[in-house]
Chain A
Amino acid sequence: MGEVGAAASGAGAEPARQRRFSINALLDGFFFVYAGIAAVWLAWLVFTESFTFGWWGIAFFVVFWLVLAYLVLPRLHRILTAIYVPDYFIGRARTSDGLLGDPVNLAFDGGEAQVHAAMRAGAWTRADDISLASSWRIVTSTVTRRSYDEAPVSPLFLFGRQQDFAYQQEVEGNPARRHHVRFWRTPDDWLLPGGRRVDWLAAGTFDRAVGFSLFTLQVTHKIDADIDVERDHIASTVLGANPTARLDVLRDFSTGYHSRNGGGDTIRTDGDLPVLDVSAVPIGTIETDGASVTDAASVTDAASKTDAASKTDAAELAP
């Protein structure tokens, strides 16, 4: 299934000549691993240096942590998870370091415009894409404790692709706590384990605080362990606001083997997968603000020819 995803996501690009290996690619692989090993050495050097600098050693410890958390461990995880984490659908998204991330606990049927319409009707806010400006705004809003209800979410990967978009609800104007859900379009003709076809897969969790990731030591959001509460919250808000939406639950889609997400937080779930059919949701309710030019384009496309529109959308959204 992973091959299907890779083929589908690569279909948007030009059919460039494809060899499985090239000298350049091998060289890249070598540099990737060598840089990881060198980074471990750098962390060690900074660590031992910190003892020789007296009070300045504290600053060196901070540098050591930065090097370890943001350079060394991500690169090592990237190398090791490429080998030991299976590269096909196992009901889990993966972090950019390749670690197992949030579990996939929702599915949607319908075009992209309908999903946007249904989520907005359910009082959800679309998350900004990560950029320098939005990252800076996160820092300032966290320090000043001001609300930033379109704060971007971290990238998680499914089918080898970053999420297509994400929605969130801020809680009490506190940037540390929020509901959020990421969406991935499934590859064409892709079926869930068990044979059901869905158009979108989604992973919803509740950020309850800011803390340190267990695996990379990075500063990250800690999620609430009871992910079923968040899943049911998303489903009920969408169903409550969209009378035309239909719910179908795949009972025991996944079992209790889900134990930790990419930040090392525990996860509990009953394993049910709600499938929300939003294909009948009217799309006229979308307001076209400046940030959603692509939405407006896909609305007109979808209105004319839903299938064709969803395919072009997939090609545009593939990173």
Chain B
Amino acid sequence: MTPEKRPAFESPAVLAEPVTPPAAMRRPTATTFGALLVVLRVIAGIVWLIALALQWDDVLQEGEVAVDLPPSEAGSVDALLLLIVVVGAIVLVIELALAVAVYFGSNAARLTVMIFATLSITISAIDYFGEDAEITLRTTLVTLALDILVLLALSSRAARAYARRPRPRHPRCR
């Protein structure tokens, strides 16, 4: 057996190596925390939707929503609000379901949540660094912070190991 010369540094590929957790792993704090943060994110979304509905007239006048319709057609503008609220509500319900799935250790849900958090963070970053949009507490710091914390919690080794722990074939005790 000829010993191989070790490189002067470890391969960064260890960060991407599969983990082999024991089957009887207890739910780590990171997973619980991550699921809780997603729920908080849902609550933030509900607050945002309510605020949007209450300030709908102001939003239209400030032109923050690109509405092609003349203001006289009030009916279709209200329909737009209804559409936003309904779509937003559906997204939030899906997010809530993902939070529950993450809590019970679903890896697909964990990856989905992380993909959307990454997209959200990237869009915020492009806004912030590209167009000088101010990120403050009053606007989006809370949601951005929640996204980053979700990503940190769910990408941690403990959360990864818990979502990838070997389980019996029957989803009897998931």
Give residues in A with beta carbon < 8 Å to B: 10, 12-14, 16, 18-22, 24-36, 38-39, 41-42, 45-46, 49, 52-53, 71, 75, 78-79, 82-87, 132, 318-319
Contacts and interface: CB of A to CB of B under 8 A. Distances in A.
Contacts of B166: 13-14, 16
A34 B120 CA distance: 13
B106 to A, nearest CB: 13
Given A35-B148, A45-B144, A27 B20 contact: no
B9 A49 contact: no
A136 to B, nearest CB: 13
A255 B14 CA distance: 29
21 contacts: A13-B20, A13-B23, A13-B166, A21-B18, A22-B18, A25-B17, A25-B18, A27-B111, A29-B13, A31-B114, A31-B151, A31-B155, A34-B151, A35-B148, A38-B152, A42-B148, A42-B149, A45-B141, A46-B145, A78-B157, A83-B12
Given A27-B111, A41-B125, A83-B12, A20 B17 contact: yes
Contact of A21 (B13, B29, B145, B156): B13
Contacts of B107: 24
Contact of B152 (A24, A39, A318): A39
Question: Mostly helix, strand, loop or mixed at chain B's interface?
Answer: helix
B121 A38 contact: yes
Contacts of A84: 9-10
Given A20-B17, A84-B9, 14 more contacts: A10-B20, A13-B166, A14-B23, A18-B18, A21-B16, A24-B111, A31-B155, A35-B151, A39-B148, A42-B149, A49-B137, A71-B149, A75-B152, A86-B6
Contact of B141 (A24, A35, A49, A87): A49
A41 B128 CA distance: 11
A19 B156 CA distance: 21
B136 interface: yes
A8 to B, nearest CB: 12
Contacts of B13: 21, 29
A36 B144 CA distance: 14
Contacts of B125: 38, 41
Interface in B1-36: 6, 9-18, 20-23, 29
Contacts of B156: 32
A75 B156 CA distance: 9
Nearest to B147: A38
Contacts of B151: 31, 34-35, 38
A85 B152 contact: no
B135 A82 contact: no
A39 B156 CA distance: 13
Interface in B88-124: 107, 111, 114, 118, 121
B160 interface: yes
A82 B10 contact: yes
B9 A83 contact: yes
A35 B152 CA distance: 5
B22 A318 contact: yes
Contacts of A132: 29
